[in-house]
Structures are given as C-alpha cells and as structure tokens.
Amino acid sequence: MGKKILVTSALPYANGSIHLGHVLEAIQTDTWVRFQKLVGNECYFFCADDTHGTPIMIAAKKMGKTPEELIGEVQKEHYKDLTSFYVEYDNYYTTNSEENKTYSESIYLTLKKKGHITSRNIEQSFCEHDNMFLPDRFIKGTCPKCGAKDQYGDSCEVCGTSYSPKDLKDSHCALCGNTPVLKESKHLFFKLQDFQDKLKTWMETGNRLQEGAQKKLQEWFGSGLQEWDISRDGPYFGFAIPEEENKFFYVWLDAPIGYMASSSNFFKSEQKFNEFWKDGKGEIVHFIGKDILYFHGLFWPAMLMGSGFQTPEQLNVHGFLTVNGEKMSKSRGTFINASTFIRYLDPEHFRFYMACRLGNGMEDVDISFDDFVSRVNSDLIGNLVNLVSRVSTSILDKLDRKLGSLTPEGKSLLEDLLAKEDEIKDAYQNRNYSKVMREITSLGDKVNKYVNDYAPWNLIKTDAEKAREVVTVSSNCAKILFTYLAPVTPVISDEVRKLYNLDKLDFANIRKPLENITLAPYAMLSKRVEEKNIQAMIQDTKDAYEKAQKETKLETVKTEPAKEVTESGTITIDELAKVELRVGLIREANHVEGADKLLNVKVDLGEKGIKNVFAGIKASYAPEDLIGKKVVVVANLKPRQMKFGLSEAMLLASGKDKTLSLFVPDRNAEPGDLLK
C-alpha cells in the first residue's frame, strides 16, 4: 500500500504575471508529485492564488474594477501560464473563498479561546497624504540590520531579517513618497512564543527541513520568538476578524490556510480532508522559496498546533532564480514572463533544464541561456530523444515496425539500466533532480554507444534480423530511460508510451520487456533549441519593458489640464468643462531639498482629501506665508511622478518668478468648493 501525500507549492500573489521564478517552483513541485504518482503513491497537488491585501485593493481601484473582478481575471491568467509548462494541479483555487473564510475564522477563534491571541494599542505608520494606515508592503526604507536600501516594511530581501515597519530607517510611503507619521491603533497578536518548545521539537524531528533552512530558523529561536501582528485596519481587502470592528486578517494569516481551502474544495468530503489535516493518515508536504521560510517554518505550524490541525511533514525550500549569476532584470530582458517564454521556446525544455540545475538545497538556481541550449540540444535531444528517433523511423519501417526478442547481450545492457532504479528513485524522493539527470544521460550515453557500435542503419542492408535485434534492445532501453525521465518530461515520455503501444509508462511495468510486438508510427518527440528564438525572447522582454517605461513617462508629463486645442489655439466649452477647479486650503508647505524653484505643499480639498503638490512658486512665496492660505487648484489633474515625489494637482497662478501670484478665491469659499 502506497503513501498518502498532500503537496502544495507557494501561492502566487494576484498582483502580477507569472514569471520564470514562479515556474521554477511549480516545476520542482510538479516533478516530485509526478514521481510520487509514478511509484504508486496516492498524491494530491494543491495551489491557489493569494488574493488579499491592500496592494490588490489599490490595483483594482486604479483599473476601475472591484478587487473580486481583478483577482478573478488574474487567477485565470496564472492558471493558464503555469499549466502551459505542463504543471498538473489537482486543484488551483483562490484564497478569497468561503472555505478559506471558514477555516481562517475557526483557527483564529480556537487560538483566541485557548489564550494564544492578545491585543494592545500600537504605534503604526500612517500616511497623512493618503489618509490611511500603511501595510508593511507600502512602506519602504533602509534595512535596520544590513543597511540595504529600498526594502519593504516587514522584511529585508537582502539579509532575510524580519522587523517592525517602525524600525525601518528613512521610511517613506511607497504610494506617494512622503514620510509616514506614527499613529496609535488597536492590533491583535498571535502569541508565537507560546509554541517555542513545540516548534523547536517539530523542526528538529526527522527530515522535515534542509540543514540550511533549519539553521536559518535557529537564528530566530536564538533571539526568542516574538508575538505576530495578525490584524490590519480598514480599508483592507480581506476577511473581517470575528468579534472585532474594522479589523481584518493580515494576508499572511489566511494565505497558508488557502492550502486547506484548496484541498477542501477538491475533496468535497470532510472525512477525506481530515485524513490529512486532522487524523494524521497522510503526509502534508510544502514547496516554498527561501524568502517565505519565516512564515512557513514558524507561524504556520504554530497556528496548526494551536488549533488542532496536523503540521507539515516536510518543508522543501529552494533558492531564487538568477540569470547569468545576477537577479532577473527587465531592462536586460532576463526578467521573463511565462507567457513570453511559451511564445518562443518549448516549456518541456525548460522543465528538463531546471531538473539539470535543481539540487535539494537552498542555493539560488542560475540560468545561463548558452548552457540551456547546450544541455537541451546535447543531453535531451542529441542523447535521449535521438536514441528513439534513430531506430524508430526508416529502419523500423523496413522491418514492418516489428520488434524481435531480447538476446543475452541485450538483457545484460537492460540490467545495467535497471540497476540504477533505486538510486534514481532515491534522488527523486530527495529532490536531487540534477543527480537524476546525470544518471539518465550517462545511461543514455551507454545505450547510444551500443547502437553506434552495431550501426543498424548499415546492418539493415546485410542482416535484417541482426538489425531487428539491435532495434529491439535500444527500444527496451529507451522505454526504461523515458520512464525514469517521465516526471520531468511528461509529454515526450507519453509520446514514447504511445510509440510502444503501452497503457502506461511507470515503475510498475519498467521491467516488463518489449518483445515481438508492432510499434506505432513514429511521431516527432521534440526539436532542437534555436539560438535565434532565445534572442527574440530576450528582445521581446526588453521591448515590453521599454514600452512600459515610455508609457509611464508619457503619463507623468501630461500636466496641461486641457489636451485638445483647435487650430486657432482656442478650446471648446466642453473641453473647459473637463477642468475641475476647486478651493484648496494649504495645510503644510515646505522647501524641497535640491530644487531651486519648487515648494512642496499639502492642499486640503475637503471631501476630495489632501493632495500633495510640487509648485514652482519658491521665488515669490516663503513656506510659512502659505500655510492657511486658500488657493484655486486644478483638482482632477492626472498625478505626475517627479524626481522629488508624486504631484497630484496644480495651483493656478499668473506672472513669473518674483511677480508670480497665486489665484485665490473671492468671498468665503470653503475647501473643496467647486468653482464654476
């Protein structure tokens, strides 16, 4: 009886397209799942889109869509991109589901009942310009530990340290660039320290974590586990926290619960769900990147422990994907989206190359496209695919496509290949795919030498039966090799299965010989990689990046309120009606460091909120003279990203330099009043 295994890969966030870094993890997981099924284990593969948080809410607003509309569209795109690399999910779901809401609330309320939830007022970053508390990912600054710049408010992508946003140095709002202020708000916390001893035991039991991952987690234990802030203030796209007002679950609380929701949605049976998540009758295995180890290695198992669910049996952690030893870059054309890759190259070639590069450690996985071409064309096409095609086309046609019997010499060669079965299985099980690829290509070299030594293309002219013998032996060898390779190249292996008229190609029938049977017509298994396609893909990526940059610049330089002007230089009354003039009250004014003519002012537009404006009025106004002044503002101007920050409106003025005068409203106009 085989094992029962529930496998997940990390949930892609619904705020961007799938790129090759995502594909790396999906392929690593899918390969392992396919291997488990190939050896007869009952294995399920679940994933979902991670859909909650302020970034989704803001992105949807910019697009004029609801968050639900946006995440629905993105989920379809993500699923299409991932499955185009032959990643085969049992269920690809969403965290914005009833199942996820139910489990999130249940887990939270159980933890609360058991005393693992506490609350207190905290000082939190608040953007006065955007009038909202800033989530961690909307604060950027310098890492307090390693000094890396442009890091997010929750963790450093350079050194991996997690911290509070208020510990970030030189912090600024990622939306408008302004420095946030600290403001008190009640927050809820998960008492992670309650599980310190249990987590340590869990972490050190069996082969749950790689050595590198365990060492990384030990660092956090050394400094003592801290309480985890699990709430966010509204507005927030997510699940409302039960028994609280205007508080929402932090996205990282319900994201991993999405694994449970996806499996529940698939099983449709509480009994089957409980086998894995409650009763311990199956193993739970996660595949993740090293950047989210903290959440999966501490918070997630502690939440499960505290709420009566089973903890993961394995946490498999991989490194980042790099290109030519460097981070992927849009400007260099190496930050490649999955959909772009598919237009130019064979996804199964990428699966093969990733398998060649993936070990079972946490090291970064590097792509060299020169090496990609060499490995695919030499090892996959020239060695393994060619082994099938060279004996299954015209030679076999001349033999009525019939195989003969295996000779003692042939059986001996097959035994050499089968002797590696346990070693290859162990390497797959331990995710050491690069070792699997080395073994398979080495065996392929051995079989190709056998074929070359006998040269059946010559034998067919003088000794047809001897040629049949060689074809029979090499076909049986190919069957073994493509069974070994099936988790990595499922499509090619399936074509080999069809060629040999087999119901399946797996380890259960790997030793069953092909003798005295008729083979199906040969269908091309795969083509060589063309260098020109790689260059076209990289150029396409560069072009897309440059186009996006130009569009961004075009948007930021459009500062004139009326765009259409007639030949006479006049505008129509309809065009003028598009300009929204409002009364603004200047609440704050400051010099702009490094700017000769600009002042930075905050203008209160009543219900329209406070707008950030960079105005060229420094020659005629001192900042202190502007505070409290009512001015006329173009309120519906498209925001412009300037060197010093985002300018969201325009102050109307006449004159030049020292004679410049701001337009001020007559009578007792109030901030936000529309001028007609």
Q: Give the type of residue at 363.
A: E
Closest CA to 15 of 62, 46, 55, 61: 55
Does 156 appear as a known binding residue?
Answer: yes
Q: Give the type of residue at 417.
A: L
Q: How many CB atoms lie within 10 A of CB 590?
A: 13
Q: Which residues contact 382 (CB under 8 A, 6 or more apart)?
A: none
Does 127 appear as a known binding residue?
Answer: no
Torsion of CA 79, 80, 83, 85, to 10 degrees: -130
**Rounded-to-integer distance, Cα 173 and Cα 183, Å:** 14
- Sign of torsion over alpha carbons 140, 143, 148, 151: negative
Q: How many residues does the chain have?
A: 676
Torsion of CA 464, 475, 530, 35, to 10 degrees: 180
Q: How many CA atoms lie within 13 A of 233 on its CB side?
A: 17
Q: Which residues contact 643 (CB under 8 A, 6 or more apart)?
A: none
Map residue 519 onto helix, strand or coil.
coil
- Sign of torsion over alpha carbons 77, 82, 84, 89: negative
Structure tokens belonging to residue 377? 């064309």
**Rounded-to-integer distance, Cα 424 and Cα 444, Å:** 14
**Rounded-to-integer distance, Cα 23 and Cα 37, Å:** 21
Q: How many CB atoms lie within 10 A of CB 318?
A: 24
- Residues 530, 537 contacting (CB under 8 angstroms): no
Find the helix or strand (DSSP H, E) in which 630 lies. Answer: strand 630-634
CA 419 to chain CA centroid, Å, is: 39
Q: How many CB atoms lie within 10 A of CB 596?
A: 8
Using N-to-C axis directions, what is the helix angle for 300-307 and 196-204, rounded to 10°?
110
- Residues 52, 15 contacting (CB under 8 angstroms): no
Beta-bridged to residue 5, according to DSSP, are: 43, 283
Radius of gyration of the chain (CA): 31
Q: Is 181 exposed, middle or buried (0-12, 13-18, 19+ CB in 10 A)?
A: exposed
Q: Give the type of residue at 481.
A: L
Map residue 478 onto helix, strand or coil.
helix
3-state secondary structure 537-573: HHHHHHHHHHHHHHHHHHHHHCCCCCCCCCCCCCCCH
Does 330 appear as a known binding residue?
Answer: yes
In this structure, the strands spanning 228-229 and 181-190 are antiparallel
Closest CA to 602 of 593, 617, 612: 612
**Rounded-to-integer distance, Cα 413 and Cα 476, Å:** 10
Q: How many CB atoms lie within 10 A of CB 624?
A: 9
What is the longest distance spanned by two Cα atoms in the chain?
110
Find the helix or strand (DSSP H, E) in which 335 lies. Answer: none
Map residue 209 onto helix, strand or coil.
strand
Structure tokens belonging to residue 433? 């795919």
- Annotated binding residues, as ranges? 143, 146, 156, 159, 330
- Annotated binding residues for ATP, as ranges? 330
- Annotated binding residues for Zn(2+), as ranges? 143, 146, 156, 159
